[in-house]
Chain A
Amino acid sequence: MEKLLVIKKSRVIFILFCFINFNKVYSQNDNISFSINGYVKYLPSHLDYNIEPSTWISPTLLQPQTSHLIHNRLNMRGYFGDNFTLGFELRNRAMFGDLQTIQRDQGWVDMSFYVFEKPKFIFHTMIDRLWLKYQKNKLEISIGRQRVNWGINTIWNSNDLFNAYNFIDFDYVERPGSDVVRLIYTGDNLSSVELVFMPTNRGQNILAGIYKFNKLGYDFQIIGADYFDDVVVGGGWAGNILKAGFKGEISYFINNYVDNALSLSTSIDYSFRNGYYLLGSYLYNSQGRNSPGLLNLINITDNVLSPKNLMPSKNSYLFQISKPISPPVNTSLTIMYGAGINLLYLSPSISYDVTSRIDLSLIAQIFFLENNQKLENLMRGVYIQMKYSF
């Protein structure tokens, strides 16, 4: 209880601090406006393993874990006249119970810190957006921590160089931002050119560009990048075959030190009039493995992903079906299969739109993996998500 009070107190102080600052600026000029919104989530979860400890997995890692996460997000915008916009977004997380590791801030500037760090309780704050944008006519320049989302395919985005997305992490759809300087020029006929420069602490800076255009009812994009040790060339498309959506991405990574790599993904989706939605997707990862092994499980559950290596398997397939069973209640089932490594992932979920502000969902994640020449259920997680939006 004491811990909870501490959380509440520091959050209240922080929110108050934000409002005070907003009001102050707001009164200066009518042409300046601010907005704030966000959510608070409570996410209890239970993870259960069925793995024999071995020399490289310590038994303590394989104990069942029950943890409680209170996750708060604040999205703030400041609009200064017609041309300048400021974005500031924060992620506060209080976790108690069996704690899971919190990923370090990967950015150029470390904007995350622990308010509390105890064996059974942590409070972690991370600024994952902090950017200033100048926009005039066809030109847009922004600097700071922001999300550069280049994905065009529905699932598995090898063009998305700045925030490869692990779709099993449903609690962080916003993804961490990247510390970049970004320039966008909008041309005619839905074309645009975008250049992104990202300094990194790894000694190599990233320079990447994308050209987007629209032709024959398709959105197309071509990318090129000097990306860590690789030179990346690729592209993507979003269009349709008859009434079904048809999307895909290809990226080729040319490397001076190791083998070149190809990542290709494509998907087809279709919505039926009765509400059923179906999605089928395929991913080829030339660097993927073709043989079973426990390491594959670690690869997929690990949050750090590279667009070069979106799945541990060479050939992966995904199938998703969703259907609203009444206006506020939606159900879905995701099935993913990593061929060769023999990894099967099942995730059923049900969500309930309780009020205009409250959502409730129940999500399960079940992993089967070939181990000792048998397909075994090695890990399962159950999550409840209660979300209040404001």
Chain B
Amino acid sequence: MYLLIVLYLNFFVPNIQENNATKILQKSEQQIQGIKSSYTEMIISVVRPKWTKEMTMKGWSIGDDYFSSVVLTPVKEKGTVFLKRENEVWNYVPSIERTIKLPPSMMMQNWMGTDFTNDDLVQRSSIADDYSNSIIGEEVVNGFDCWIIELLPNEDAPVVWGKLVMWIDKKNYMQMKTQFFDEFGDLINVMNSVEIADFGGKKLPSKIEFIPLEKEGNKTVIERLVWEFDIDINPRFFTPGYMKNLR
């Protein structure tokens, strides 16, 4: 839904330390910084070795803390809504016409069968406080000339990852690729930007794929069809009582 926003904001909070890598991260962040609100329409495909599921959904956001999304297809899940307000999450189930408050442990579950956890959608881990960064090389990814930036967690930082490596393109400051390493230095997940599009004058990845490497043949692909920024959204869209009306 707003995965990309979340992931972007998560990973592009500038480090206090002034260096080139920090400046690159800052510029990259500016791509979508200053966003008061956003609206998106997207297709999410969950790919498994013998099974594929495709979902279409709409999503709205205000700032970093307010998100809501509604499922359009598959029809059996049509009208299912997820709402996030700061650290609280609700789920509206149309068949029983009830809004259910989700417990924090549900955040560890994969979100709607994708390779993302609910936590990826919600939690705001702070790159600024938790990671230090440095440029470790340059490489061409998907036709884009990129810097390679390594992010290492600071001591005692409450983070999941042992290391992140990001490829950021030199022209548009897009996050073209990210590798997620665990605390033992093993590569766990890879996120690739496979297509780029123009959204309201900004060049942004329109199609990203998230690949958990330990599960062969598994991936989640997110394709944005519409992505609008700084539009007027009624704050009611982010209240549990209004979830039943989203469509």
A: residues with CB less than 8 A from B are 35, 37, 39, 135, 147, 149, 151-152, 154, 173-175, 184, 186, 190, 192, 212, 214, 217, 219, 238-240, 242-247, 269-273, 275, 277, 326-328, 353, 356-357, 359, 387, 389-390
Interface pair B240/A356, CB less than 8 Å apart: no
Interface pair B103/A269, CB less than 8 Å apart: yes
Give per-residue flags for B26-63: 1 if the beta carbon is below 8 A from chain A beta carbons, else 0.
00000000000000000000101001011000000000
Q: Which residue of A lies closest to B88 (CB)?
A: A217
Q: Which residue of B lies closest to A356 (CB)?
A: B74
Q: How far is the CA of A387 from the CA of B75 in the complex (A)?
A: 12
Of B51, B88, B95, B102, which one neighbours A327 at CB under 8 angstroms? B51
Between-chain CB contacts (< 8 Å), 16 pairs: A149-B97, A175-B96, A186-B236, A212-B241, A214-B88, A242-B104, A244-B103, A269-B105, A270-B103, A272-B105, A277-B109, A327-B46, A327-B53, A328-B51, A353-B53, A359-B76
The distance from the CB of A254 to the nearest CB of chain B, in whole angstroms, is 27
In the complex, B239 has a CB within 8 A of chain A: yes
Of B85, B101, B105, which one neighbours A270 at CB under 8 angstroms? B105
Q: Which residue of A lies closest to B90 (CB)?
A: A219
In the complex, B87 has a CB within 8 A of chain A: yes
Q: Which residues of B contact A152 (CB under 8 A)?
A: 101
Looking at chain A's contact residues, the main secondary structure is: strand
Across the A-B interface, give the 10 residue pairs with the lowest CB-CB distance, nearest first: A245-B103, A356-B74, A389-B76, A243-B105, A238-B101, A243-B104, A273-B108, A271-B105, A271-B106, A270-B105
Q: A190-B240, A356-B53 are in contact. Are A245 and B105 (CB under 8 A)?
A: yes
Q: Which residues of A contact B108 (CB under 8 A)?
A: 271-273
Q: Which residues of B contact A151 (CB under 8 A)?
A: 98
Q: How far is the CA of A192 from the CA of B242 in the complex (A)?
A: 11
Interface pair B239/A186, CB less than 8 Å apart: yes
Q: How far is the CA of A357 from the CA of B75 in the complex (A)?
A: 7
Q: Which residues of A contact B20 (CB under 8 A)?
A: none
The distance from the CB of B100 to the nearest CB of chain A, in whole angstroms, is 8
Interface pair A357/B97, CB less than 8 Å apart: no
Looking at chain B's contact residues, the main secondary structure is: mixed
Interface pair A240/B54, CB less than 8 Å apart: no
Interface pair A327/B113, CB less than 8 Å apart: yes
The distance from the CB of A156 to the nearest CB of chain B, in whole angstroms, is 14
Q: Which residue of A lies closest to B240 (CB)?
A: A190
- Known contacts A217-B87, A246-B103, A269-B103; 18 additional CB pairs below 8 A are A37-B78, A149-B96, A149-B97, A154-B100, A174-B95, A186-B236, A190-B241, A192-B241, A219-B240, A244-B104, A272-B105, A273-B108, A275-B110, A277-B109, A327-B53, A356-B73, A356-B76, A359-B76
Q: How far is the CA of A239 from the CA of B95 in the complex (A)?
A: 23
Q: Which residues of A contact B88 (CB under 8 A)?
A: 214, 217
Interface pair B241/A389, CB less than 8 Å apart: no
Q: How far is the CA of A272 from the CA of B240 in the complex (A)?
A: 25
The distance from the CB of B66 to the nearest CB of chain A, in whole angstroms, is 12
Q: Which residues of B contact A245 (CB under 8 A)?
A: 101-103, 105-106
Q: Which residues of B contact A246 (CB under 8 A)?
A: 103
Interface pair A357/B74, CB less than 8 Å apart: yes
Q: Which residues of B contact A356 (CB under 8 A)?
A: 53-54, 73-76
Interface residues of B in 219-243 (CB under 8 A from A): 236, 239-242
Interface pair A243/B103, CB less than 8 Å apart: yes
Q: Which residues of B contact A238 (CB under 8 A)?
A: 100-101
Q: How far is the CA of A387 from the CA of B76 in the complex (A)?
A: 10
Q: Which residues of A contact B87 (CB under 8 A)?
A: 217
